[in-house]
């Protein structure tokens, strides 16, 4: 049995460490604060008896649980990231524990009238009677992905303490900077040495994913010209108004809040400007690669026609690919997904096999030669003040890791 009190305390000890990554810093890690959790984990992994514990110069922490069987089975891995999203503060996290949740509103912060309600988040109702860990309404929680970190450490410790459970060699890695799209950039797949791995970075209990968006970022820079507004006729060029026209030229119904499942989108997530210059920051997403390419082309095409109409080269589009759909790399080894599905069914968990409307380290790792489906970590409402995770989901995810280790040993006997 997984110790509920211990796993809760472990998770809370991790989320109280601020590990917010920085999208504007090219260094690894992108924030010095990530080292604090990485070094804590390094000590913890050594203490529970793992071998080859190594924290490298880029804040990647790897370790090995040696095989306890006398025949050869594939080396498998489990991966989670230690950073939290820069979208919302992860400093001074003060988790609240809600025992035996009754299905009613949860007051996160009375002074600021911040309430976590099933009227807004219906998923809460599936966890009636369980223990929830929430925020205090002023920060994110960090279950993305410190729940995943908790599950991997707890599962490996459980296997060490229960040697009657037979398993092959297991490698684990905790990565920095996943939230800013760099988590797998310097991941040494050869050194990791696993045939395949699983990221513990999904959301609700049962999620099992091996498809994700193709992803790119787009920066649209629009130049203008400032003159005194009283003498501006025929002279002023207001970059903000050109930006408005650019935004309006994209399909209005292809935004995150209006799409679902396999539908792609254009997401304007930041804009800043004045008359002289406006910058629009977009992300582009689509599961279908051809549609993904068409989206990128459309953004360039709009700029081309706007510049022709303006008679000046004022709209500039810079697009950078971020990651691609791991499905292409996982399908040839689909049995690694099937193993995880079997384990979930064995544990009485209903598998939810669906595409990720986002990305994980696993998408990049799959293209680097390490097929890497994604398994639930248990949290909900990531990256904001309404984030929560049921302790029972953390325990179940831990049991899935243990079950996969055991299942692989059985299948290759």
Q: Kindly name the residue from 18, 20, 42, 83 that is annotated as catalytic.
A: 83
Q: Identify whether 145 is preceded by a cis peptide bond (ω within 30 of 0).
A: yes
The radius of gyration computed from the CA coordinates of the chain, to the nearest angstrom, equals 23
**Distances in Å between the alpha carbon of 112 and those of 90, 109, 124, 139?**
18, 6, 21, 13
In the chain, which residues fall in CATH 3.40.630.10?
4-212+325-411
- The active-site residue out of 178, 179, 207, 286 is 178
The sign of the dihedral angle between the CA atoms of 13, 20, 196, 185 is negative
Q: What is the pTM of this model?
A: 0.89
**CATH 3.30.70.360 residue ranges for the chain:** 214-323
pLDDT at 172 over 90: yes
Does the pLDDT value for residue 268 go beyond 80? yes
Judge whether residue 357 has pLDDT over 90: no
User: Which pLDDT does position 274 carry in this prediction?
Assistant: 98
Active site residue 178: yes
pLDDT digits (tens, 9 = 90+) for 338-350: 999 999 999 999 9
Tens of pLDDT along 56-104? Answer: 999 999 999 999 999 999 999 999 999 999 989 999 999 999 999 999 9
Give the whole-angstrom CA distance, residue 61 versus residue 79. 10
| Cis peptide upstream of residue 97 (ω within 30 degrees of 0) | no
pLDDT in tens, 205-215: 999 999 999 99
Tell me if residue 83 is catalytic. Answer: yes
What per-residue confidence (pLDDT) applies to 325? 94
Which residues are paired to 168 by β-bridges?
Answer: none
pLDDT on residue 360: 81
Does domain 4-212+325-411 fall under CATH 3.40.50.720? My reply is: no
Mean pLDDT of the region 403-407: 98
The CATH classification number of 214-323 equals 3.30.70.360
Mind listing the pLDDT tens digit for each residue in 112-159?
999 999 999 999 999 999 999 999 999 999 999 999 999 999 999 999
């Amino acid at each position: 049995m997984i110790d509920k009190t211990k796993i809760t305390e472990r998770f809370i000890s991790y989320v109280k460490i601020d590990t917010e990554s920085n999208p504007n810093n090219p260094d690894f890690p992108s924030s010095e604060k990530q080292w604090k959790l990485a070094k804590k984990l390094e000590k913890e992994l050594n203490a529970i008896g793992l071998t080859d514990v190594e924290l490298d110069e880029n804040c990647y922490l790897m370790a090995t649980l040696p095989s306890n069987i006398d025949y050869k089975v594939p080396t498998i891995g489990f991966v989670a990231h230690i950073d939290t999203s820069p979208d919302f503060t992860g400093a001074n996290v003060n988790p609240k524990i809600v025992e035996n949740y009754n299905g009613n509103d949860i007051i996160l912060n009375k002074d600021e009238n911040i309430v976590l309600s099933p009227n807004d988040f219906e998923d809460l109702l599936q966890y009636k009677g369980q223990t929830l860990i929430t925020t205090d309404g002023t920060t994110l929680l960090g279950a993305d992905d410190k729940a995943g970190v908790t599950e991997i450490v707890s599962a490996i410790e459980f296997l060490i303490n229960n040697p009657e459970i037979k398993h092959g060699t297991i490698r684990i890695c905790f990565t920095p900077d996943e939230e800013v799209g760099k988590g797998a950039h310097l991941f040494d797949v050869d050194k990791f040495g696993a045939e395949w791995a699983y990221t513990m970075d999904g959301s609700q209990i049962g999620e099992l994913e091996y498809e994700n968006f193709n992803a790119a970022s787009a920066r649209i820079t629009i130049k203008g010209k400032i003159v005194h507004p009283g003498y501006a006729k025929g002279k002023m060029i207001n970059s903000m108004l050109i930006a408005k026209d650019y935004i309006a030229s994209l399909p209005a119904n292809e935004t995150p809040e209006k799409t679902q499942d396999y539908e792609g989108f254009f997401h304007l997530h930041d804009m800043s400007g004045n008359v002289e210059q406006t910058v629009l920051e977009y992300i582009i997403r689509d599961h279908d690669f051809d549609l993904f390419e068409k989206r990128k082309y459309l953004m360039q095409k709009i700029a081309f026609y706007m510049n022709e109409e303006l008679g000046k080269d004022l709209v500039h589009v810079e697009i950078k690919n971020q990651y691609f759909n791991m499905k292409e790399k996982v399908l040839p080894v689909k049995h690694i997904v099937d193993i995880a599905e079997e384990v979930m069914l064995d544990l009485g968990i209903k598998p939810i096999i669906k595409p990720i409307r986002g990305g994980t380290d696993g998408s990049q790792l799959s293209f680097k030669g390490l097929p890497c489906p994604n398994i639930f970590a248990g949290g909900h409402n990531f990256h904001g003040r309404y984030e929560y995770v049921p302790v029972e989901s953390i325990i179940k995810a831990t049991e899935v890791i243990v079950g996969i280790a055991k299942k692989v040993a059985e299948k290759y006997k």
